Each structure stands twice: as C-alpha cells, then as structure tokens.
C-alpha cells in the first residue's frame, strides 16, 4: 500500500517545505530559485520512468516539456483559457501524441531507440518552427494583461509556483506508485532482460508505449505552466537539446531507478548550477566546476548519491525507494 510507504510522507513533507519556504517572509527571490529546482525534479523524475525503470535512454525527453509549453501557452494566452485547464489539456494532448509515437519507435532497442528520440526532437522542432498558429520561429508571447485573470503578474507568478510544486509532488508520487505496482515490476523485467520479460508474459510493446506516454504527461503540464510564467516561447527555447542531456546528468547524479534519487539529482544539480552561477568568486568557472563534480560522481559513485547511500547505510534501502 502506497499510503503506508514512508517515501510518500517524505514527498509530501518536501512539497510542504517547498511551499512554506518562500511563502514565509514573502521571499520571491527564493521562489524563483525553487521553481527551477521543482522543474528539474519533474523532468528528472519522469525521465527516470524511461531510463531508470525501463532501461530505455530517451535523449528527446524535452520534446514533451516544449510541446506542453506550446499547447498550454496557445490555449491560455492566445485563446483565453483557464491556465489549469490549458495545462491539463496540454498534458493529455502530449501524452496521446507520445502513445501513438511510442507504439512505433519503441520497437527499436538500445542505441537505435536513443537515436530515434533525437530524431523526434529535431522533427518536432522543425514542425513547430514552420507552424503558423504558433508563430513559426518567432514563437508566442504572453500579453502582460493576460496575467490580470490571475490577479496581476505578481499574483500569477505565485499561482504558477504552487501549481508547479503540485506537479513536482505528483511526479514523485507517480514514480513511487509505478515502482510499487505490478506494472512497475513488468517495466523492471524489461530493463533487466526484455527477451525474458516477453517469455514471462509481459506485453513489452504495450508496457513501453504506456510508460513512454505516462512519462510525457507531467513534463507537458509543467512546460505549460513554466512557459506561461516566462511570458514567451519559441522553438529554440522550447526544444533545447542541452536540457534533455541535463536531465540524464541529474539522474546519474542522484541514482537512476530510484524515486528519491531522481528527485535528489534534479534538485541538487539545479541548486549547484544556480549557486555557481551567482557566486561572485566561482561564477567565471561555473561550467568547469559543475563538469568536474559530475565527473567525480560518475567515476566514484556510479550508482549516484542514492547508490552510495545504499552502500554506506544498507538499511536505508528498506526505507528509501
């Protein structure tokens, strides 16, 4: 039962702290830092469903975030829809798109699948850059007046923050729920030996397509919220390959295949990058230091931080999923 699992309460406590911290003393600057942490956790957690649980490396995961951003921004800013409704519809739309796509490309394995995901990213970016209703390569902008519906820009940014935190908590709960389910067991079987999983009766094609689609839903919702908050979107920002790669780095850092590891990796990576970027002494070397630290983790703790913790404190394996 998920309700009895301690990780659920760790997730809820984490989300509550994320809400309370900036709210206490109306610390908007902290809120802006934490929203990026939350986005990193969302991206890493959902990417973990593919890489960590199923063993399929998705280099184009950011396509879901960008497409969600476009659909959400188009509906909320151009068509005047309610933001929550627009974000949910963006999630549903992108999930359906991923399901159809997944049934096709998930027949590929290993490096071929990874290459196909890069191809999808490039193809979607090119399509959007030539799609008139979404402003082609110029993109879409949110009018300052559009925030009035949420009580003005100041209030709107708080609302989007709380919604992003909710999506973050849901991402982690979803990861936990899947990990504890029979469906999750099927995914792990695919990860360990896909051929053996087929023999054991796992419908691997359907399982993979479903998880591919599920892993698209919450990043798409988050994309809709985040780009609405940012006030603009264009193809180069929405489908940034670098962000896809960073998602994989976050997973390696925290420990792929674990709920807490993915979130920890996402959160820590973002905090580290933010700190280095704004540190007066280190800002000129921020990329070098970030790269060096990651190299150390990969070399000396290949299971990520959670893998290292499992080794150091074996009992933690029973508590932390």
In the complex, which residues of this chain contact other proteins (CB under 8 A)?
A: 27-29, 31-33, 35-36, 126, 129-130, 136-139, 141-145, 153-154, 157, 229-232, 234, 236-237, 240, 243, 274, 277-278, 283-284, 286-287
Least spacing, CB of residue 277 vs other proteins, in Å:
6
Question: Closer to other proteins at the Cβ: 25 or 314?
Answer: 25
Question: Closer to other proteins at the Cβ: 82 or 284?
Answer: 284
Least spacing, CB of residue 27 vs other proteins, in Å:
8
Residue 169 vs residues 46, 133, 165, 203, 294: alpha-carbon distances, Å: 12, 33, 6, 29, 26
Question: Closer to other proteins at the Cβ: 55 or 60?
Answer: 60
Question: Closer to other proteins at the Cβ: 2 or 28?
Answer: 28
Least spacing, CB of residue 23 vs other proteins, in Å:
15
Least spacing, CB of residue 242 vs other proteins, in Å:
8
Question: Closer to other proteins at the Cβ: 234 or 321?
Answer: 234
Question: Closer to other proteins at the Cβ: 100 or 277?
Answer: 277
Least spacing, CB of residue 146 vs other proteins, in Å:
8
Least spacing, CB of residue 284 vs other proteins, in Å:
8
């Amino acid at each position: 039962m998920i309700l009895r699992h301690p990780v659920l309460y760790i997730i809820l406590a984490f989300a509550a702290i994320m809400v309370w911290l900036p709210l206490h003393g109306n610390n908007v600057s902290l809120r802006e830092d934490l929203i990026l942490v939350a986005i990193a956790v969302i991206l890493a957690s959902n990417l973990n469903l593919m890489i960590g649980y199923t063993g399929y490396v998705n280099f184009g995961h950011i396509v879901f975030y960008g497409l969600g951003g476009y659909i959400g921004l188009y509906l909320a800013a151009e068509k005047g829809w309610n933001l929550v409704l627009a974000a949910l519809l963006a999630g549903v739309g992108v999930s359906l798109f991923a399901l159809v796509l997944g049934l096709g490309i998930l027949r590929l394995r290993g490096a071929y699948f990874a290459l196909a995901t890069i191809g999808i990213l490039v193809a979607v970016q090119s399509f959007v850059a030539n799609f008139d209703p979404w402003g082609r390569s110029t993109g879409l902008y949110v009018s300052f007046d559009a925030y009035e519906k949420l009580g003005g820009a100041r209030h709107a940014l708080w609302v989007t923050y709380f919604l992003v935190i909710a999506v973050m908590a849901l991402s982690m709960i979803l990861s936990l729920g899947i990990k504890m389910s029979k469906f999750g067991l099927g995914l792990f079987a695919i990860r360990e030996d896909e051929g053996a999983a087929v023999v054991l009766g796992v419908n691997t094609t359907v399982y993979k397509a479903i998880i591919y689609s599920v892993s698209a839903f919450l990043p798409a919702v988050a994309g809709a919220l985040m780009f609405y908050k940012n006030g603009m979107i264009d193809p180069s920002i929405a489908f940034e390959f670098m962000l896809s790669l960073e998602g994989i780095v976050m997973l390696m850092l925290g420990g792929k295949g674990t709920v807490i590891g993915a979130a920890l990796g996402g959160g820590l990576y973002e905090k580290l990058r933010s700190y280095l970027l704004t540190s007066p002494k280190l800002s000129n070397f921020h990329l070098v230091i970030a790269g060096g630290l990651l190299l150390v983790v990969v070399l000396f703790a290949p299971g990520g931080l959670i893998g290292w913790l499992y080794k150091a404190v074996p009992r933690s394996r029973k508590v932390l999923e």
